[in-house]
Structure 1
Amino acid sequence: MTFAKKALILGAASAVTAGLAVPVIAQSSSISGAGATFPAPAYQRWAVEFAKETKKQVNYQSVGSGAGVRQFHAGSVDFGATDEELQEKKGEFTAGAAGKRGALQIPMMGGTVTPAYNNPGCKNLKLTQAQVADIFLGKIKTWDQLKCGKGPITVAHRSDGSGTTYVFTNSLSCFSPEWKSKVGTGKAVKWPVGVGGKGNEGVAGLIQNTPGSIGYLNQAFVKGKITPAAVQNKAGKFVLANDVTGAAALNSVKLDARLGGEDCNPAGANSFPIASFTWVLAYKTGNGAKTDTIKQFFLWGLSPKGQAIAKQLDYVPLTGAVLARARAEVAKIGK
């Protein structure tokens, strides 16, 4: 798919989900969700195609995983979305509305988080895991140090609470003891260096408009002047993020009873080392007249058509046992 076609599709999705020129429909046929920016292009494209087929409306607000979980706990949305699994030990399955109505966590697709840059003087950048950490620690300050181009490096990172940040910093904590001790893992961290942008969209905008910059993005946002860097994996191979290397990584992740699971540095010669599932959060009860629409939308996303769209937009589609478990979890959503 060309960038122009992707832009047209995502633009159409944004228009539809923003409520522009949408006919009035029954409340039971209209649902709203909010959360991760990571999967937003897929959810918004799904909403467009789902509406065409069913005449039912899905409004997805790309506000970041942190805000999505908060809205889910507040009960202000029909579903939430996050790139960081909910934590039992933090009480995230029992907080607020989730505790009253029951919480389900359903993987919808996978994705990679890749270092990405804008430097015409640097072609085919290859980074060791230590180098990735040192760039974001501010220890590597110039492109000369990477032996790829010239001039200072501008680091771009997220300014909002973000599952993408959680996935990225979780891997950096595995890559670098210094990162783990000084910065650590989280949806929001105290960055040693750099400028912040809101959402994957904001970071992509910073990189796009700043020659000499490098940041981290979900693979689906790497386009235009933005180039992905190859990263050395646990097996010592330099690999680029794509659906094949992402699938190799995610296939090594074991999901628990709540369908949560992660690996900060997955094994395998073809694995991209920074990869994660992304989940929707649903209520087991209290969905009322919207129950069927919620279940129908999730199952549509988990259908061959929905997963093919995810792959088309540079996500990693679910397969095999994970896909079967996700569909079985959707069946638990009740009125």
Structure 2
Amino acid sequence: MKVLSLGRTAAVLSASALALAACGSDNATGAAAGTDAAASASTASGTLTGAGASSQSAAMDAWIAGFNSANPTASVQYSPDGSGAGREALLAGGVQFAGTDAYLSDEEAASSLEVCGPDGALHIPAYISPIAIAFNLEAVEELNLDADTLAGIFRGEITVWNDPAITGQNEGTELPATAITVVHRSDESGTTENFTEFLAAAAPSVWTDEPDGEWPAALSGQENAQGTSGVVSAASATEGAITYADASAVGTMGTVAVKVGDDYVAYTPDAAAKAVEASTPVEGEGRPELDMAMELARDTTESGAYPVVLVSYHLYCTAYEDQETVDLVKAFGHYVVSAEGQAAAADAAGNAPLSANLQEQASKALDSIKVAS
């Protein structure tokens, strides 16, 4: 069994990536506003290395700034390489935690036993965020679309903005005959996995591919880009483009209100949190007792719920090689899920803070992390 310590070199993180993570990321923010140093201070020391979800970039910058200012002998470095890359790095023993918008598969959970000890890896929710479906059409700020129409657009079967399937749900909105350009992630992405889970659950007769962190290869003729900032940049530069991304990153592009039941629901942190309330725990071998991975109800008809949502996790080992690493992991983990850390992320990224119940569960799970025996 391999267990992670502070002394190990994070081989998967290049020196340049670490330098960028320390200074900021592609969605950089300043220090967390309103940080209470006394509330987050600890005796933690050393350097904690992480990698993973680019959707967490804005929130991570705020967490790092708040944590580091309260813990001057500790630092956190994070490389926003994508959820899949983050999980791979943790399972290879290259980083001490991963940010991921998709929980470990059963195969990955089994692999975590080798690097993380007999109880494997532990999912801790970091925040709840809507995935915005964002488009670039001049003078159009919001559209109403149901799941079947969205699936048809992203499969390339609905190809112009004035298609009757779109105009019929948007009376009074003048839509052009502009071609629709789909922009999707080129890297393995938790955002992609969450988005395709929604399409497969809510529009199964149209979206016939299995949910996956990689965009279906059979859907050719579409644009792609690396990371959250990449798809947003590409879509922002292309008239008629549509993409999906963490809501904190879409900027001034127009966004879609998704039909849920009889109503169209715009993305908001509260609407995303409401969808998460219907979640159930992920079960399976190789998952620790206090693991918090969640199955989301993508086909909910709950009034006011926005089902195109992700729970962004921090993935930790249940055991590390030495007490210094355990103390640092716990200190950072507790800061992230605290009221202070959640407020910092919400200010930076516009996500929905964890509920008091989820914060309590997360704290209990973090307390279970120990030194490997």
* 1:143 match: secondary structure: coil
* 1:125 match: secondary structure: strand
Mapped pair 1:203 → 2:231: yes
Distance 1:13 1:296 in 2: 23
* 2:78 match: secondary structure: strand
Rg comparison, structure with higher value: 2
Counterpart AA for 2:54: T
1:270-294: per-residue Cα shift (whole Å, max 9, x none)?
1002112111111122242222121
Residues 120/44 of structure 1: CA separation in 2 closer, same or farther (3 Å cut): same
Identical positions, percent: 26
Regions of 4+ moved over 6 Å: none
Residues 284/139 of structure 1: CA separation in 2 closer, same or farther (3 Å cut): same
Provide structure 1 residue ranges, at least 5 long, that are not aligned to the other structure.
Answer: 1-11, 19-26
Counterpart AA for 1:87: S
Mapped pair 1:187 → 2:187: no
Q: 2:83 aligns with which of 65, 69, 73?
A: 65
Give the number of equivalent residue pairs: 313
Distance 1:15 1:323 in 2: 27
Distance 1:171 1:71 in 2: 27
Q: CA offset at residue 332 of structure 1?
A: 1.2
Q: CA offset at residue 173 of structure 1?
A: 0.3
Counterpart AA for 1:333: I
Kept after mapping to 1: 8 A contact 2:59/2:346? no
Distance 2:50 2:301 in 1: 34
Q: 2:318 aligns with which of 274, 277, 284?
A: 284
Aligned partner of 1:3 in structure 2 is none
Mapped pair 1:294 → 2:290: no
Kept after mapping to 1: 8 A contact 2:109/2:120? no
1:213-243: per-residue Cα shift (whole Å, max 9, x none)?
001111111213x12111111x221111111
Provide structure 2 residue ranges, at least 5 long, that are not aligned to the other structure.
Answer: 1-18, 26-43, 168-174, 283-288
Please show how residues 70-219 of structure 1 align to structure 2 within 5 Å: 70-88=88-106, 90-95=107-112, 96-99=114-117, 102-145=120-163, 146-147=166-167, 148-181=175-208, 183-191=209-217, 192-193=219-220, 194-219=222-247
Kept after mapping to 1: 8 A contact 2:89/2:95? yes
Q: CA offset at residue 52 of structure 1?
A: 1.1
Mapped pair 1:268 → 2:302: yes
Residues 50/270 of structure 1: CA separation in 2 closer, same or farther (3 Å cut): same
Distance 2:315 2:141 in 1: 40
Aligned partner of 1:326 in structure 2 is 362
Residues 187/81 of structure 1: CA separation in 2 closer, same or farther (3 Å cut): same
Mapped pair 1:45 → 2:62: yes
Q: CA RMSD in A?
A: 2.2
TM-score (norm 2): 0.79
Q: CA offset at residue 64 of structure 1?
A: 0.7
Distance 2:141 2:125 in 1: 35
Kept after mapping to 2: 8 A contact 1:94/1:103? no
TM-score (norm 1): 0.87
